[in-house]
Amino acid sequence: MELQQELPDPAAALAYFQQKLAFTMGPVELRRRITDGVDLHVIDVREREDYDRGHIPGAVNLPRDRWTTNSGLAKGKVNVFYGYSATCPLAAEAAAYFAKRKFPVMELLGGFEEWAGRKFEIEQ
């Protein structure tokens, strides 16, 4: 007996991927925006010790225990959050937290691990 697989709904897939693209960017796109001088805020939500060992140039450190301060964020600019890796939920959690507080937010896909793995600039 052959098993029937339910096919994904193309309209639902279109809506999902349009939403995903609207609120995420990859490291290549972020680097290009930084290089082009696009006015945005890059927010590193990793722990301070990890930020001090290396972070994306210009990023502000805002670990979870300091989220209530809104430090380094702006309501008139895109705030791009990143965590440790593609499997780390911190950036998505921070983006949801700050979106609820009316900040324009995006998530960096792959986190710091992906940025560093591409041998992009790292600040200490």
Q: Is the residue at 14 inside a domain?
A: no
Q: Does residue 118 surpass a pLDDT of 90? A: yes
HEC secondary structure over the chain: CCCCCCCCCHHHHHHHHHHHHHHEECHHHHHHHHHCCCCEEEEECCCHHHHHHCECCCCEECCHHHHHHCCCCCCCCEEEEECCCCCCCHHHHHHHHHHHCCCCEEEECCHHHHHHHCCCCCEC
Q: Does residue 1 surpass a pLDDT of 80? A: no
The CATH number given to whatever domain includes residue 89 is 3.40.250.10
Q: Which domain holds residue 39?
A: 24-117
pLDDT 10s digits, 48-94: 999 999 999 999 999 999 999 999 999 999 999 999 999 999 999 99
Q: Is the residue at 6 inside a domain?
A: no
Q: Is the residue at 71 inside a domain?
A: yes
Q: Is the residue at 106 inside a domain?
A: yes
> Structural domain tally of the chain?
1
- The pLDDT confidence band at residue 47, using thresholds 50, 70 and 90, is very high
